[in-house]
Amino acid sequence: MKVVETESEKQFVAYLQSRGLGEPDRHPPLKENKSGRRPDFGLTLEGIRFFFEVKEFAERDIPESGSFDPYAPVYNKIEKALAQFDEYTEHPCSLVLYSPDASFVHLAPMIVFGSALGPLSWATPVVSQAINHQNGYSFWDASKAWYWFDYQPMQPRNTHLVAIMILERFPIGYYRFSAQVDGIATASGKRMERSEVFALAQSHEDKGLLGETGLRLVVCQHPFAKFPLNPELFAGEFDECFGWVPHSQRIFAGTEIEKLEATGTYPEKSPVFK
C-alpha cells in the first residue's frame, strides 16, 4: 500500500483500523480501466467489494460579510467523486467528506441529503378565511440539485454512489462534560451557577478529559442505491447511519450516542448558556 498523503486519508485509514475493518487498498484498479481514474481506497466488507473516495475541505479564511450556501462546497466534492467513480458504476461506491478546519463548511446529515437530493425547502400553502388551520410541509427540491434523483424523468441517478459519509472527530469530552452538568442539575433540582460550570470545566481540562475526541462516521445512504448497505456496517460507539424508510431518518446509532441522547445532551446544547 502506498503512503497516504492527506490528513483526510490518514484519518479514514485510522478509523477503519480502529474499527477492526482491515487495511484498505490504495487506488484499487479494475481489470479494464481506460481513463486511469481510480478512487482512493478499496476494501472488502461483509464479502462485498466497496470503493471509497475521500475528499477534504481546505482551510479557508472567513470573510467579514457575505452570504453562506451550505450546499455549494458539498456539490463540488460530489462532482469530483463521481468522476473518480466513472468506471466503477457496477460496484458500491461511497464519498467520504472530512473537514479539518470547518471554516464555512457545515457537514450534517440534513446538508448532505440536501446536496445530493436537492436543498431542503418548505412550502406554506395559501389558505382562505374559511379554513382555520393548514400545515405546510418540507421537501427536497430536486430541481436545484439532482445527484441522487433526476426530477424531470422522475428517476434515481448515480445509484452506485450508495452513501455519502461524514468523517469527523467527535468531541467526546465536551458531551460527557455536558451530561455531567445536566446530571448534577437534575440531582440538585436547580441549575448550576455559571461559575460552578466553569470550575467543573477547568477540572475536566486539568485532567485532560474536556478535549477528548474520537473518530466517527455519519453515513447518509442513497435512498435508491442498487447495492445493499448494512446500516450497521460502520457500527462504532459514536457512529450514526441515516437512511430512507420511507423518508430520511436515522436507522442506526452507536451505544455511546444513545447514552448521550438519554441525558438530553446530544444533539449539542451548551451547558453554559442553556
Phi, psi of 41 (to 5 degrees): -140, 155
Which sequence spans correspond to the domains of the chain?
7-123+134-170+213-234, 172-212+256-274
Q: Is the peptide bond before 246 cis (omega within 30 degrees of 0)?
A: yes
125-136 confidence digits (pLDDT tens)? 655 555 555 565
173 contacts 202 by C-beta, under 8 angstroms: no
Residue 189 DSSP class: T
Overall average pLDDT of the 85-106 stretch = 89
Indicate the helix (H) or strand (E) that contains 110.
helix 109-117
pLDDT of residue 61: 59
SS3 (DSSP) at 242: strand
Q: Which residue has the cell 412550502?
A: 123
Instruction: With a cut of 90, say whether residue 31 has pLDDT above it.
Output: no
Residue 103: closest CA among 73, 145, 81, 77: 73
Indicate the helix (H) or strand (E) that contains 115.
helix 109-117
Q: Which residues contact 128 (CB under 8 A, 6 or more apart)?
A: none
Long-range contacts of residues 261-266, Cβ cutoff 8 Å, at least 24 apart: 263/178, 263/179, 263/182, 263/183, 264/182, 265/175, 265/178, 265/179, 265/182, 266/175
DSSP string, 57-73: PPP-PPPSS----SSHH
The set of cell numbers assigned to 210 is: 474536556
Instruction: With a cut of 50, say whether residue 272 has pLDDT above it.
Output: no
What pTM was computed for the model?
A: 0.85
How many CB atoms sit inside 10 A of residue 16's CB? 20
Phi, psi of 3 (to 5 degrees): -65, 130
Average pLDDT, the chain: 85
175-232 confidence digits (pLDDT tens)? 999 999 989 988 998 888 999 999 999 999 989 999 999 999 999 999 999 998 899 9
149-165 exposure pattern, b = at least 16 Cβ within 10 A, e = fewer = bebeeeeebbbbbbbbb
Rounded CA gap, 5 and 85, in Å?
Answer: 20
pLDDT of residue 62: 59
Instruction: With a cut of 90, say whether residue 72 has pLDDT above it.
Output: no
Instruction: With a cut of 60, say whether residue 11 has pLDDT above it.
Output: yes
Instruction: With a cut of 50, say whether residue 78 has pLDDT above it.
Output: yes
185 contacts 193 by C-beta, under 8 angstroms: no
pLDDT of residue 93: 97
Question: Is the C-alpha dihedral spanning 156, 159, 162, 163 positive or negative?
Answer: negative
